[in-house]
Amino acid sequence: MNHIKGTTSLSGLIGYPVKHSKSPQMHNTAFEALGLDYVYLAFEVQEGNLKKAVEAMKTLNAIGFNVTMPYKTKVLEYLDDISEEARIIGSVNTVKNENGRLIGYNTDGIGFIKSLEEKGVNYVGEKIVIVGAGGAARAIATQLAFDGVAEIVLFNRTLSKAEEIVKSINMNISTCRSRALGMDESVLRKEIEDAAILINCTSIGMWPEIDKSIISSPEILHKDLFIADIIYEPNKTKLLKFAEKAGCKYMNGLMMVIWQGALAFKIWTGKDMPVDLIKKAVFEK
């Protein structure tokens, strides 16, 4: 932990709940490693107090802050400007204070792309199947569409939520064809036959419900399919165990979490987060 002085600048996390967050440890480790005079704190903001919290960060001249559930969409109305990808995604997870103007960004999707690229996975011109239609799915699907994916098929139990995301992509990114489908394993099996990547953007399989998966067996997977699960606790979900049995390459959500934080860090400080150090110090204890 860096030594707080009279000159130390504030950054932090706004959301509810946030006591479980790894972000303070991640950013403070990076600040200390690079000798930066900043501190990162987690602020639990009760419903109804978001506007006051955002105004407080501006008043206290914070360098910026992260926003997590349930405020990623609501925070937009209290910002001065937002990036293009945040506008299309419809949510913000990172805010930079530029001389009193609060600018919103979304680093979730780019964080996922960085983790894919780190694994050497090609997505440009490919068909991608995504299960889930929450905030993470929206950010990942939109960023993949921006970055050259040819087709996205989005499955979700509540079809209308998937349709909202698909409508936004089809309206804003003409180079990508998107479709929404209700959750049905037989239909999912057919759609992944010619897909390059299958992404789980749900919480199914996350601790403590580690015996659950978005699919019932490894038989619906083919060995050329790359499997990405945005969950990182447990390290290997039931879905990823199925992927291993089917001979598929795969990744969990750990590097997405680290990369989205690293991108926020760069937005605030202009410096690269020491990603390898963060992985060892924060996540591999």
Return d(Cα 96, Cα 218) in angstroms, integer: 43
3-state secondary structure of 73: coil
Check if the beta carbon of residue 67 is closer than 8 Å to that of residue 93: yes
Q: How many Cβ atoms sit within 10 Å of the Cβ of residue 137?
A: 26
Return d(Cα 201, Cα 219) in angstroms, integer: 21
Q: Are strands 226-229 and 151-156 parallel, antiparallel or unpaired?
A: unpaired
> CA angle at residue 134 from 129 to 136, to 5 degrees?
75
Active site residue 279: no
- Dihedral sign computed on CA atoms, order 195, 201, 207, 209: negative
Residue of 51, 72, 238, 271 marked catalytic: 72
Residues marked active site are found at 72
